[in-house]
């Protein structure tokens, strides 16, 4: 049985080798016959001569050396033809040397050596191309069987590659391209015509009897993608999108895999260009600790740090389930990584000291935090204990154990805070800035806004409300927020950690803010529920602002070496005042004295004073609004 399988496996290769050796003999013999036929008294040419055997041997060795038999005839293309031509030229040169050593080329005319490789290249290339044409013709016949007719938006490289792959399947039949490049009008890509521009989509979709639309513009920005989606919706046809390039590279999708348009696609931003060399130099071979490593940001940081070749990764997480989940994933995906999974509370100085003594981290990313604004508004003790004292405990452990750098992950809600959550994160920023002045550890703060699909964020909430039949709840018609994807935020955090020298606050470029109302409307339309699900405006919640800011007016942000990272000029605070108030806060947390904690917030942050009055202007609930 094993012998039979082996013979079956090598049989096609043997057939190809036999074919090529036959073509070598035919080319050599035919060229010799033609050459000697031009002589005054032509003599008959023997079909098998010693010279022919030597040419077969030399050419066969060249074929093997050039890898001619690694390719498949089914996929013969321009590179394969070039390789054949190269092998024929080298083979002719090798044959000439062999024949020269054999008989000084006495019986071989020089014109034979010049013409032979050209004839051989034709004899080898034509059968391969003919075979591929025959196979493609069979696939074309199969594609004419009943299949779903699709219209492709975008005739660029992505559209071309998509159609090339889809034509090998029976499920889809590409009937045309649409592209705004007028120079492509009337041209054909893999025999599929470019019919017109995207604005002509509704009419051309009817004329071609298209059954589905595919958006193949992976480089489109937010405006271009939303326009394409709006046109697809106007056609009343189902539509899909090709995966983004970064998803294909990361292995999350295959290129010809058609997926439904997600809200992340409509919030698309230019791909982040990072200095991966500097980041890898900073993290490769280092011992890294991530607090809150089971959360949305923390877990993605763990994945990227593991990919960058850290010597060891310590995950400190309070949630048992989150820790279990990220530990299983990291051990499965990165079995060579030295992973320490610690279940513990970063607000406990004893836990922090013990973890640092055992793992000796050199780089610390502090992602552990409570972040839900309305919930924390009435939980000031827990917000202060976790977001402020947790930062203090972990930072002091990093300093005491000689960590090289400590990165605090902050939020835009710390700018002019009106919420308890934002005020606590601002005090954590102030502490890290102050502590950096007296520590050998580099303390760096990175500030950014909302991330898509993070736990407790608006996108999964809207998705669940749509799934449940609505209504979708929005606090205010004019409320806006910044958005970026979790991977993009984490990549920029890693980049900022390389830029800082200590004491800086970096803010990430979040792009343009988006109205939450527009986000809800778009998600409803993408779910195909327009007209069926309404939006209910519920009024601003305590501590919530209509819009967020990335910088305080007094911070005077400046550019950095990275286009999407800005540096905020620090607003300092007297060390004695900050230290005294934090000591009072530790006693207040221990005594569960929330009134004292609120007074500490207002004393440290004058802009936070009176936040109850400012947010009391929240609008009253507005009647629901259907999305037509």
**Digit-coded pLDDT (tens) for 326-357:** 999 999 999 999 999 999 999 999 999 999 99
Phi and psi at residue 187, to the nearest 5°: -80, 175
The least confident of 246-250, 388-392, 588-592 is 246-250
The least confident of 33-47, 419-433, 522-536 is 33-47
The predicted pLDDT at position 7 comes to 38
The predicted pLDDT at position 238 comes to 84
Q: How many CA atoms lie within 13 A of 627 on its CB side?
A: 24
Respond yes or no on whether the N-terminal peptide bond of residue 125 is cis (omega within 30° of 0). no
- Give the pair of three-digit tokens for residue 434: 């102050």
The predicted pLDDT at position 1 comes to 42
Closest listed residue to residue 374, CA positions, set 545, 234, 583, 163? 545
Burial of 374 (0-12, 13-18, 19+ CB in 10 A): middle
- Check: CB of residue 418 under 8 Å from CB of residue 543: yes
Give the pLDDT band of residue 619 (cuts 50, 70, 90).
Answer: very low
pLDDT digits (tens, 9 = 90+) for 543-575: 777 777 665 655 567 767 777 788 877 666 788
The predicted pLDDT at position 352 comes to 96
**The dihedral of CA 516, 519, 520, 521: what is its sign?**
positive
Q: Got the DSSP string for 353-379?
A: HHHHHHH--SEEEE------HHHHTT-
Average pLDDT (436-458) is 82
Using CA atoms in the order 328, 331, 333, 336, what is the torsion angle rounded to 10 degrees?
180
d(CA 101, CA 109): 15
Tell me the helices (H) and strands (E) count for the chain, helix number first.
Answer: 23, 22
Radius of gyration for the alpha carbons in the chain, expressed in angstroms and rounded? 34
The predicted pLDDT at position 541 comes to 79
Burial of 53 (0-12, 13-18, 19+ CB in 10 A): exposed
Give the pLDDT band of residue 453 (cuts 50, 70, 90).
Answer: low
The proportion of the chain whose per-residue pLDDT surpasses 70, expressed as a percent, equals 81
Give the pLDDT band of residue 12 (cuts 50, 70, 90).
Answer: low
Residues 6+ apart with CB under 8 A from 358: 340
The predicted pLDDT at position 82 comes to 81
The predicted pLDDT at position 390 comes to 96
Give the pLDDT band of residue 616 (cuts 50, 70, 90).
Answer: very low
Average pLDDT (213-240) is 82
pLDDT digits (tens, 9 = 90+) for 63-84: 888 877 665 555 556 677 788 8
How would you list the strands of the sheet with 505-508, edge to edge?
338-343, 312-317, 287-291, 363-366, 405-411, 442-448, 505-508, 565-568, 558-559
The predicted pLDDT at position 620 comes to 42
The predicted pLDDT at position 70 comes to 62
261-265: which pairs have CB atoms within 8 A and are 24 or more residues apart? 261/215, 261/229, 261/526, 262/526, 263/452, 263/459, 263/519, 263/522, 263/523, 263/526, 264/452, 264/453, 264/485, 265/225, 265/241
Average pLDDT (375-381) is 92
The predicted pLDDT at position 628 comes to 42
d(CA 166, CA 198): 21
pLDDT digits (tens, 9 = 90+) for 478-537: 888 777 778 888 888 998 888 888 888 888 877 677 788 888 887 887 777 777 788 888
- Give the pair of three-digit tokens for residue 30: 């035919």
Of the chain, the end-to-end C-alpha distance in Å amounts to 66
Classify domain 278-457+484-516+548-573 at the CATH topology level.
Rossmann fold (3.40.50)
Question: Which regions of the chain carry the CATH code 3.40.50.720?
Answer: 148-261, 278-457+484-516+548-573
Q: How many CA atoms lie within 13 A of 511 on its CB side?
A: 20
Assess whether pLDDT exceeds 60 at residue 267.
Answer: yes
- Check: CB of residue 584 under 8 Å from CB of residue 502: no
The predicted pLDDT at position 342 comes to 95
Give the pLDDT band of residue 8 (cuts 50, 70, 90).
Answer: very low
Q: Which residue has the tokens 């910044």?
A: 482
Average pLDDT (575-592) is 92
- Check: CB of residue 85 under 8 Å from CB of residue 28: no
- Give the pair of three-digit tokens for residue 584: 């009072």
pLDDT digits (tens, 9 = 90+) for 160-185: 888 877 776 667 888 888 888 878 88
Burial of 542 (0-12, 13-18, 19+ CB in 10 A): middle
d(CA 364, CA 395): 9
Please tell me the class of the 148-261 domain: alpha beta
- Check: CB of residue 165 under 8 Å from CB of residue 242: no
The predicted pLDDT at position 321 comes to 95
Percentages helix, strand, coil for the chain (3-state, rounded to 5) are 50, 15, 35
Give the pLDDT band of residue 398 (cuts 50, 70, 90).
Answer: very high
pLDDT digits (tens, 9 = 90+) for 281-321: 889 999 999 999 999 899 999 999 999 989 999 999 999 99
The predicted pLDDT at position 623 comes to 42
């Amino acid at each position: 049985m094993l012998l039979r399988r082996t013979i079956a496996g090598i049989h096609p290769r043997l057939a190809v080798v036999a074919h090529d050796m036959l073509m070598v003999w035919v080319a050599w013999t035919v060229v010799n016959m033609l050459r000697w036929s031009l002589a005054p008294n032509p003599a008959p040419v023997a079909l098998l001569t010693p010279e022919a055997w030597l040419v077969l041997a030399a050419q066969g060795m060249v074929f093997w050396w050039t890898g001619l038999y690694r390719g498949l005839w089914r996929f013969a293309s321009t590179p394969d033809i070039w390789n054949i031509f190269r092998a024929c030229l080298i083979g002719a040169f090798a044959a000439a040397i062999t024949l020269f050593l054999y008989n000084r080329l006495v019986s071989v005319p020089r014109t034979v050596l010049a013409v032979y490789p050209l004839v051989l290249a034709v004899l080898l290339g034509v059968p391969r191309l003919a075979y591929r044409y025959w196979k493609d013709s069979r696939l074309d016949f199969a594609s004419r069987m009943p299949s779903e007719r699709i219209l492709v938006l975008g005739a660029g490289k992505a559209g071309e590659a998509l159609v090339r792959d889809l034509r090998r399947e029976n499920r889809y039949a590409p009937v045309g391209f649409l592209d705004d490049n007028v120079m492509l009008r009337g041209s054909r890509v893999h025999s599929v015509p470019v019919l017109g521009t995207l604005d002509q989509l509704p009419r051309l979709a009817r004329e071609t009897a298209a059954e589905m639309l595919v958006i193949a513009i992976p480089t489109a920005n937010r405006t271009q993608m939303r326009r394409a989606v709006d046109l697809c919706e106007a056609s009343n046809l189902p539509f899909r999108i090709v995966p983004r390039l970064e998803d294909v590279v990361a292995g999350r999708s295959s290129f010809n895999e058609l997926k439904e348009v997600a809200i992340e696609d409509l919030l698309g931003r230019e791909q982040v260009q990072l200095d991966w060399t500097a980041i890898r130099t900073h993290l490769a071979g280092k011992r890294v600790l991530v607090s809150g490593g089971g959360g949305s940001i923390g877990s993605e940081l763990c994945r990227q740090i593991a990919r960058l070749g850290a010597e060891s990764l310590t995950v400190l997480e309070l949630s048992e389930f989150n820790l279990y989940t990220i530990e299983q994933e990291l051990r499965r995906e990165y079995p060579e990584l030295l992973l320490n999974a610690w279940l513990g509370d970063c607000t406990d100085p004893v836990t922090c000291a013990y973890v640092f003594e055992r793992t000796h981290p050199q780089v610390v990313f502090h992602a552990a935090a409570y972040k839900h604004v309305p919930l924390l508004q009435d939980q000031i003790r827990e917000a202060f204990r976790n977001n402020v004292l947790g930062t203090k405990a972990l930072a002091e452990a990093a300093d005491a154990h000689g960590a090289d750098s400590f990165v605090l992950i902050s939020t835009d809600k710390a700018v002019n805070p009106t919420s308890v959550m934002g005020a606590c994160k601002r005090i954590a920023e102030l502490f890290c800035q102050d502590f950096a002045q007296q520590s050998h550890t580099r303390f760096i703060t990175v500030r950014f806004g909302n991330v898509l699909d993070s736990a407790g964020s608006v996108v999964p909430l809207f998705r669940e409300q749509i799934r449940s039949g609505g209504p979708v709840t929005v606090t205010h018609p004019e409320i806006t927020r910044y958005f970026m994807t979790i991977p993009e935020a984490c990549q920029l955090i890693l980049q900022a950690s390389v830029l800082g020298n200590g004491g800086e606050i970096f803010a990430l470029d979040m792009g343009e803010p988006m109205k939450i109302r527009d986000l809800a409307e778009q998600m409803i339309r993408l779910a195909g529920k327009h007209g069926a699900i309404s939006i209910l405006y519920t009024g601003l919640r305590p501590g919530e602002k209509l819009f967020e800011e990335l910088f305080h007016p007094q911070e005077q942000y400046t550019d950095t070496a990275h286009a999407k990272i800005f540096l905020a000029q620090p607003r300092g605070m007297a060390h004695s005042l900050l230290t005294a108030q934090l000591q009072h806060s530790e006693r207040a947390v221990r005594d569960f004295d929330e009134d004292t904690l609120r007074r500490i917030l207002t004393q440290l942050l004058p802009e936070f004073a009176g936040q109850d009055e400012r947010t009391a202007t929240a609008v009253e609930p507005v009647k629901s609004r259907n999305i037509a």
